[in-house]
Amino acid sequence: MDTQRIKLLREKLRRLEREISSPFKPETGCCGLTLAQCHTLLEVGQGQEVSLVELSASLSLDVSTLSRTIQGLVTLGLVNRLVNEKDRRCVAISLSEQGRRLFTEIETTFNDYFGRVLELIPGEKREAVIDGIGLFSDAVRQYNESSGCCADAGGPGEK
């Protein structure tokens, strides 16, 4: 693919990232959550209960990093950590009642925000936008899983 098109894509993604994260910083900040805690809370809220290992895979985080995030949410009273008595390595995470209320509040806020954004896109193009974002996200994940992402390109400052 043409280098100029790739640069244009990267520029648009940077702009999109700034625009998407901007309105939600006050929302998550007023709830006392970091962005990592917010993502974790939303992921846990998608089901009744999730294992720490499943959660780390879905968030692409190592278990030790995620454990610290979970501990912060436990301290805030938003999630429950249930250790399996037969195998202490198995830890299940679920939302507390307070966590469920916050999850619902955040979901409602995000749904309202993105609903209003989608209304600004012509109706006949909305599904294409949603499908395109899904395709792009899946392709990025697939590439990262198969290639180690930046391993072959070298890190910043490497020659």
Domain count, the chain: 1
Q: For residue 10, give its domain range.
A: 1-30
Question: Mean pLDDT for each 10-residue chunk of the chain (159 residues)?
Answer: 94 90 62 83 92 89 91 95 79 94 91 94 97 94 78 47
| Residue 37 located in a structural domain | no
Tokens at 70, concatenated: 């979970």
Q: In this predicted structure, what is the pLDDT of residue 71?
A: 94
- Of the chain, the percentage scoring pLDDT greater than 70 comes to 86
| Residue 148 located in a structural domain | no
91 - beta bridge partners? 83
Q: In this predicted structure, what is the pLDDT of residue 31?
A: 67
| Residue 76 located in a structural domain | no
Q: In this predicted structure, what is the pLDDT of residue 85?
A: 77
Q: Could you tell me the sign of the dihedral formed by the alpha carbons of 140, 11, 121, 35, in that order?
A: positive
